[in-house]
Structure 1
């Protein structure tokens, strides 16, 4: 897994933001850092919905420190746009349909009992304007959500 102090792996992927645009991390750092990447296993599942809605509910804390939040999952950008719409999410969701970002950040997990493989492990990374990971968290238990207050502090510290 990518750790605190590492250079964040750069990537380009589709961005579900109501439309479908292209997202390149290195291009976004100048204007949007710190960037919070919140990886989640799958749209429309209970814990993932709760997590993304909690980020939405706390979005003003990130806005107050000029941090930008993005969710990241293996879902298609079309699915993610519907997920955004149904949950009134104001932040973009990055579609890692080809599993490139999950592999680069080493946050892959499987649900063997469900026959689902290669989804994103619930993980959060805060990346500063220089592209350095200033906060890294991941859970092997898909039912565990991040400590949101800790992520907020990390985002503030990365400004």
Structure 2
């Protein structure tokens, strides 16, 4: 499945956060840019590295007035544990049925240890204040994702 096209409206969604509250993309339209980073599974090494990198740049994202959300197929009940264990300072959203990941083109065939299966493909999206998709980040290392994200925001003039 292909990612939505840059320049088009980002696919609408409403998901539950770690507290069971509803978060909708439409709530941010006209207010601030949004970063969605889709990660495969809470409390796994790569996902922890990526989430902790975002945690470490949260003040910079706040300064730029950017809302950030981690999205995974984890159930809501697992998300507070991930937040508490790693002192994460941003909301996590549960996409347990992976419908939002499918809309964003980041649910697909994966290969791991000689096996093929359907799963979440690590991808980040920068969405403008107007609700349009500004950038798709699908080729990055988890260790430097946060630095790459800041560089992309700079390039887009979100300072």
User: By the TM > 0.5 criterion, same fold?
Assistant: yes
Deviations 1:96-124 (A, max 9, x none): 00111111001013445577844321111
Task: Give 1:53 deviation, angstroms.
Answer: 0.4
Give ranges in structure 1 of 5+ residues lacking alignment.
Answer: none
Give ranges in structure 2 of 5+ residues lacking alignment.
Answer: none
CA distance in 2, matches of 1:81, 1:117: 27
CA distance in 1, matches of 2:33, 2:137: 16
Count of residues in correspondence between the two structures: 153
Q: Which TM-score applies when normalising by structure 1?
A: 0.85
Task: Give 1:59 deviation, angstroms.
Answer: 1.0
1:155 is aligned to 153
RMSD in angstroms over aligned alpha carbons? 2.1
Q: Which TM-score applies when normalising by structure 2?
A: 0.85
Task: Give 1:150 deviation, angstroms.
Answer: 3.3
Is the CA contact 1:70–1:94 (under 8 Å) kept in the aligned structure 2? yes
- For residues 1-159 of structure 1, the aligned pairs below 5 Å read 1-16=3-18, 19-31=19-31, 33-113=32-112, 117-139=117-139, 144-145=141-142, 147-156=145-154, 157-158=157-158
Deviations 1:51-83 (A, max 9, x none): 000000111111111101100100011101111
Is the CA contact 2:50–2:145 (under 8 Å) kept in the aligned structure 1? no
Q: Secondary structure of 2:134's partner?
A: strand
- Over 3 Å counting, the alpha-carbon distance change for 1:116 and 1:27 in structure 2 is farther
- Over 3 Å counting, the alpha-carbon distance change for 1:117 and 1:15 in structure 2 is farther
CA distance in 2, matches of 1:116, 1:20: 32
Q: Secondary structure of 1:20's partner?
A: coil
CA distance in 2, matches of 1:3, 1:49: 28
Task: Give 1:34 deviation, angstroms.
Answer: 0.7
